[in-house]
Amino acid sequence: MSRRGRLGWNTLGVVLLALLAFPVFWMVSTAFKNNDQINSYDPVWLPGHPMLGHFRDAMHRPYFWTDVKNSVIVVLATVVISLAISFFAALALAKYRFTGRKLFIVLVIGIQMLPQAGLIIPLYVVLAKHGEVNKLSGLILVYLTFALPFCVWTLRGFLLGIPKDLEEAAMVDGSSRLGAFVRILLPLVAPGLVATSVFAFITSWNEFIFANTILHDDQHRTITVFLSLMYGGARFVDWGAIMAASTLIAIPVVIFFLLVQRRIAFGLTAGAVKG
């Protein structure tokens, strides 16, 4: 490629990067500005003297930590339960051929395609009938419906990646097939388990629709609902605190995402891209 051609593409690439990343930059930069800088009509691009006041404000808002705690409880329970039971189903899909296998795969993929909004009413009514509305346990049940199919499908991919010889070597030793998996292959799929659980963590941490529908009072909210409620109602919108809270909520997700992105991003398109 000609030098000038490359220069042109590079310029385009840098401009695009600036456009795409601007909202993220603007969030972080706003969180560190003082209120005069935030409220001025001419934008102040960088805070001259970064201040932590908005972070303190956000964290001292009523229920911030309660809602963080709620989110952590819901997310951990969802991840642990769904991982524990989906592992076995993934094993069945990856290593056995059986009647009904195809139907099960259609179920697993199909459920992931259901629009969440379409399930608000039935899930809400059923939870209400069983007294599970406004309880974290009700929300955990809802999250399992989405986490389970995802975990089954992704773990299946990781299990497929294990070489057959290892499995056979284990069986020659006289172990039963299941025994071989548990003792020899479990350590091999550990990275897959970690990646899958991190991804399930991110999805549940970010979820808004059901958290907003099922949990009603201040003590029982998750952090995304907390963030959504920071805006609105007040005559004066405290953008500094909102951006500080946004940054705080995004940080764990970004860190986790960077860790597993490469491993898991293609679960949804598995096979369409080889390699």
Using CB under 8 A as the binding rule, the residues of this chain from 54 to 93 that contact another protein are: 85-86, 88-89, 91-93
Distance CA 28, CA 260 (A): 23
Name the burial class of residue 134, with classes exposed (0-12), middle (13-18) and buried (19+) by CB atoms within 10 angstroms of its CB.
middle
Q: Report 128-167 residues binding another protein (CB under 8 A).
A: 128-129, 141-142, 144-145, 148-149, 152, 160
DSSP state of 100: T
- How far apart CA 20 and CA 162 sit, in angstroms, is 38
Assess contact for 37 and 47: CB atoms under 8 A: yes
The site map against another protein for 161-200 (x = CB under 8 A) is ----------------xx----------------------
Report if residue 259 touches another protein, rule: CB under 8 A: no
- Cα(219)–Cα(191) distance, integer angstroms: 36
Contacting another protein within 9-48 (CB under 8 A): 9-10, 12-14, 16-17, 20-21, 23-24, 26-27, 30, 39-43
**C-beta of 53: minimal distance to another protein in Å?**
17
As measured in angstroms, the least distance from the Cβ of 92 to another protein is 4
- Whose CA is closest to 242, among 31, 61, 34, 75? 31
The span of 49-57, 64-72, 101-109, 191-199 binding another protein (CB under 8 A) equals 101-109
Site string for another protein, 211-250 (x = CB under 8 A): --x----------x--xx-xxx----x-x--xx--x--xx
Q: Give bridge partners of residue 270 from the DSSP assignment.
A: 273
- Pair of tokens at residue 67: 């809602």
